Amino acid sequence: MAKKIALFPKHPERICWGCDKYCAADALRCGNGSGRTPHPIEVLGEDWLDQGDWGFDPEEVARAKVRAGKATD
């Protein structure tokens, strides 16, 4: 089973998100190319989960938003 992706990482720029190894940006082990794969939050912004269907459980997303201080009620 693959590792779950962090929905709201504190420092997404420090990790390559291209596979489930989540290597440090300067220590790519999977051969995913010459550079790291950015987290969707870096590309799409803080509201990346609202753009499209990512297949996450809505309750899991709600809990992650609360933990990250991004919940809106």
Q: Token digits for 4? A: 């779950």
Residue type present at position 32: N
The SS3 call for residue 30 is: coil
Nearest Cα residue to 48 out of 9, 2, 3, 4: 9
Give tens-digit pLDDT for 4-46. 889 999 999 999 998 888 889 888 888 766 788 999 999 999 9
The SS3 call for residue 42 is: helix
Q: Token digits for 21? A: 């190894």
Q: Residue 68: which residues within 8 A CB-CB, separation 6 or more?
A: 7, 8
Band the pLDDT of 56: cuts 50, 70, 90: very high
